[in-house]
């Protein structure tokens, strides 16, 4: 139903994309404020959904409001469910039709507010309420946030594990838009799709010391695809401790630990020797193990060869899943501070390793510089997230850059099991 808007209409006030339903009541026509008591616009509009007759709307279908009166037009529409979630929509330029552009939640109650004006610019209003039906699909996407509740270092990313893979960019956008991360103090951050079932969230710089971070999902009841709907998720709350950054310089053979920007201690160390060079870059503490048995056979060293080893290792702070640690290495004390003789780990005296073990926590930063090794992988071998430039990180968001490729095969090939 196309018509020319009345001359009294201010076209510039037309709302084309309605995300939060900003009201157009502040606009005026020929200098006259539209402040009169709104009339009931029930006879001026038509709605494609149920109208209080006990039926429920199909969440698979978009909402549509049309102007039935040829002398009137729609000026604004908002749709919001009982949980406070708005439905995005689009209003035609001539004000004759509005339709939703984002999916409805299933098994939810919605309030629809429609604003209109007649040919003289007088305002009309109509409020409609309706329920949506339960999802017909049996598949529900659940989200598990990580890490577990607790206190972590400034490098700890927030993770989201999905119960089902999501490959389509538009479907990823629906999921990502519903995953909320808030911090106090507030910092800007972004989700990055690691693969079809995993996302990581981090800010541009490390988290502020003392911050509180909360993650939650608004996916419950939201349609993701014809056969996949959002399910409930347990929210997450973690806190951030002091800023602890340990910098290992493979050239000077020193590890220096900084707390909140102040140097606390410098420790003589040894890192990976030629052929077993320690990875450069930023790593995040994954955990601490008082005792680990390390064997050369786990990284392909033949038993009985010159490089073979089978050693009890104490005060082991893990920084990669493939077995890179900062740990006690009493057998190499004579080389610590002078030469690199390990198989990839950072070794130090037992006393220094015990001190380091007690002064770091999960999420703290361990950064290696001046090694001849490869750079720490962003994903797949721990939390190398901070080695990715911020622009590239943001491009891994479905709301910013699209669908990332995920870990490269050559990165996976470099993962090594436990080494000393």
**Active-site residue set:** 327, 345
| Nearest C-alpha neighbor of 307 from the set 274, 335, 353 | 274
What DSSP character marks residue 5?
P
Compute the distance between CA of residue 280 and CA of residue 249 in angstroms, rounded to an integer: 9
What six digits make up the tokens of 157? 């990313």
Main-chain phi, psi angles of 393, to 5 degrees: -60, -50
Compute the distance between CA of residue 201 and CA of residue 176 in angstroms, rounded to an integer: 11
User: What are the b/e assignments for 203-232, b being 16+ CB within 10 Å?
Assistant: beebbbeebebebbbbbbbbbbbeebbbbe
Are the CB atoms for 286 and 321 separated by under 8 Å? Answer: yes
Compute the distance between CA of residue 221 and CA of residue 85 in angstroms, rounded to an integer: 11
Are the CB atoms for 9 and 73 separated by under 8 Å? Answer: yes
Compute the distance between CA of residue 361 and CA of residue 285 in angstroms, rounded to an integer: 7
User: What are the b/e assignments for 235-261, b being 16+ CB within 10 Å?
Assistant: ebebebbbbbbbbbbbeebebbbbbee
């Amino acid at each position: 139903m196309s018509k020319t808007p009345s001359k009294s209409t201010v076209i510039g006030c037309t709302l084309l994309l309605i995300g939060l339903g900003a009201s157009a009541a502040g606009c005026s026509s020929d200098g006259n404020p539209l402040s009169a008591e709104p009339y009931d616009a029930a006879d001026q509009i038509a709605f494609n959904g149920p109208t209080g007759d006990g039926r429920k709307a199909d969440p698979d279908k978009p909402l549509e409001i049309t102007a039935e009166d040829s002398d009137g037009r729609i000026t604004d529409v908002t749709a919001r469910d009982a949980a406070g979630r708005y439905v995005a929509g689009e209003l035609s330029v001539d004000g004759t039709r509005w339709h939703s552009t984002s999916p409805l939640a299933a098994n939810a109650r919605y309030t629809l507010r429609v604003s209109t004006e007649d040919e003289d610019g007088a305002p009309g209003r109509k409020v409609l309420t309706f329920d949506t039906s339960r999802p017909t699909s049996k598949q529900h996407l659940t989200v598990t946030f990580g890490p577990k509740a607790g206190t972590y270092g400034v490098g700890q990313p927030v993770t989201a594990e999905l119960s089902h893979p999501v490959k389509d960019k538009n479907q990823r956008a629906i999921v990502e838009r519903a995953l909320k991360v808030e911090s106090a103090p507030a910092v800007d951050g972004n989700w990055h799709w690691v693969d079809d079932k995993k996302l990581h969230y981090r800010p541009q710089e490390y988290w502020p010391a003392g911050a509180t971070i909360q993650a939650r999902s608004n996916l419950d009841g939201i349609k993701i695809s014809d056969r996949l709907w959002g399910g409930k998720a347990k929210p997450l709350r973690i806190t951030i401790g002091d800023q602890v950054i340990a910098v290992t310089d493979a050239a000077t053979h020193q590890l220096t630990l900084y707390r909140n920007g102040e140097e606390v201690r410098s420790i003589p160390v040894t890192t990976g020797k030629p052929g077993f060079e320690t990875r450069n870059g930023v790593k995040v503490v994954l955990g601490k193990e008082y005792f680990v048995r390390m064997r050369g056979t786990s990284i392909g060293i033949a038993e009985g060869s010159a490089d073979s080893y089978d050693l009890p290792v104490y005060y082991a702070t893990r920084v990669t899943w493939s077995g890179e640690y900062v740990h006690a290495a009493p057998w190499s004390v004579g080389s610590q501070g002078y030469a690199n003789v390990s198989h990839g780990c950072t070794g130090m005296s037992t006393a220094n390793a015990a001190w380091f073990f007690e002064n770091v926590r999960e999420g703290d930063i361990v950064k290696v510089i001046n090694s001849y090794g490869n750079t720490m992988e962003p994903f797949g071998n721990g939390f190398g997230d901070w080695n990715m430039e911020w622009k590239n990180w943001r491009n891994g968001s479905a709301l910013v850059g699209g669908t990332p490729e995920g870990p490269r095969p050559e990165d996976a090939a470099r993962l090594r099991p436990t080494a000393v």
